[in-house]
Structure 1
Amino acid sequence: MLIDLHVHSTCSPCSVLKPSEILAHARAKGLDGVCITDHDTMSILTQCREGFQPDGLLVIVGMEYTTDQGDYLVFGDVRTLPAGLSAERLLPRVRELGGAAVAAHPCRVWRPADPAVFERRLCGIAEVRNGRNSDAENEKALQLASGHDMIAVAGSDAHTLAELGRCPTRFTVPVNSARDLVDALNRGQCRPAASHRSAA
């Protein structure tokens, strides 16, 4: 399955991508699923439902959680996470909740993750291809993941319709729910897809 793990809707103040646009265009862009990961909120759940949509698109709601030591895509039963946790407190808590955490754009120049997070093995999954990163930032993230034996994924970091589906992740097992997604991420049953561009 081809899933875009990193999509922002208008529930993120920096995004102009409407929930209705995500639902209407994701399948035409070649996606089997999208993860809506707004900044520090899951309020998108008031506008759309998780699970399979009428056209077969799988929608999963996560969150891009902001810390002073980098940003993390969190999935699973994470609605109860309090705001303002440090990475040292967030990442073990996500594990305790049975979820999965992905280091989002960990080597972005203007907002890099703290290397200590990876040296201490607090996070085992890294976004090595981000649709808004430079090639150099993505290459550095790939080296980070390789050097720390991390699971590698991709995410479009879409804030506009044109960016949706730009950097998906290929899952090697069926993903039918948020639970399936968490399990596949934590087991490494996924990999960054080849550069993906759709005419849609």
Structure 2
Amino acid sequence: MKPERLVEHAKKKELDGLAVTDHNTIDGALEVFDIVRDEHMDFSVIIGEEISTDRGEVLAYFINREIEPGSFVQVLTEIRRAGGISAIPHPFDKLRHHAVRLTSNDVELVDCIEGFNARCLFKTYNDLAYNFGKEYDLAITAGSDAHFLNEVGNGGIITGQENIREAIMKKNVTIYGHRSMVINHAGTKILKLGRSIRGYLDE
């Protein structure tokens, strides 16, 4: 997704902001932030990243620098050093090969759990995550996990506070969302296949 179109689409959907979390880079988030700043928009952009670890993917929000992939504990430590908060996305989605399988032993290490992910095909996976967060008193977030424009805004949080970070950590947010269409998953697989083929041809 081009940053300009992402912001335009989010505004059309009457969103007040976006958390941009590309895989192992903050470049896209910074581009979106710059567009909003340069256009003087009343729109919040959270600098984020989805980081690969030895146990699966971890989300970072509000970071001031890019976090390198590494061990689970190392990445969580670096997120805090970068001024951010961590969230575990879709931890009980059995169809995701890169999901962290969160256990009770991890709750002291992480800040948040994603209680709703719009790309979870089955409601049960989101329910398990939400209930886990409640049981262990974790902050609960939600996300679109958007790979295409039509998915933007399918999941998120609502808060009355201006300080979004504080609202999340104080658990003063309401999560919302609806599941993305199955066809979007097929589209992602086609894109990944296309990238793999291009990489093979370039070698």
**Shorter chain as normaliser: what TM range?**
0.7 to 0.9
Shift of the 139–96 alpha-carbon distance from structure 1 to 2, 3 Å rule, reads same
- Which residue of structure 2 aligns with residue 105 of structure 1? 90
Q: What's the RMSD between the two structures over aligned residues?
A: 2.5
3-state DSSP of counterpart to 2:5: helix
- Which residue of structure 2 aligns with residue 161 of structure 1? 149
How does the TM-score come out when normalised to structure 1? Answer: 0.76
Shift of 1:191: 2.5
Shift of 1:139: 1.1
Letter in 1 for 2:52: T
* Unaligned runs of at least 5 residues, structure 1: 1-16, 175-179
Shift of 1:140: 1.4
1:149 has 2:137 as partner: yes
Shift of 1:98: 2.6
Letter in 2 for 1:101: S
- Which residue of structure 2 aligns with residue 63 of structure 1? 49
Name which of 82, 88, 91 aligns with 2:76: 91
- Which residue of structure 1 aligns with residue 198 of structure 2? none
**Aligned pairs, number:** 175
- Percent of aligned pairs sharing the same letter: 26
3-state DSSP of counterpart to 2:65: coil
* Unaligned runs of at least 5 residues, structure 2: 181-203
- Which residue of structure 1 aligns with residue 9 of structure 2? 25
Name which of 56, 61, 67 aligns with 1:75: 61
1:192 has 2:172 as partner: no
Shift of 1:44: 1.7
Determine the C-alpha separation between the residues in 2 that align with 1:169 and 1:57: 15
3-state DSSP of counterpart to 1:154: strand
Letter in 2 for 1:141: A
The structure that is helix-richer by fraction is 2
Taking CA–CA contacts closer than 8 Å with sequence separation of 6 or more, which of the two structures ends up with the larger relative contact order?
A: 1
Contact 1:119-1:148 at 8 Å conserved across structures: no
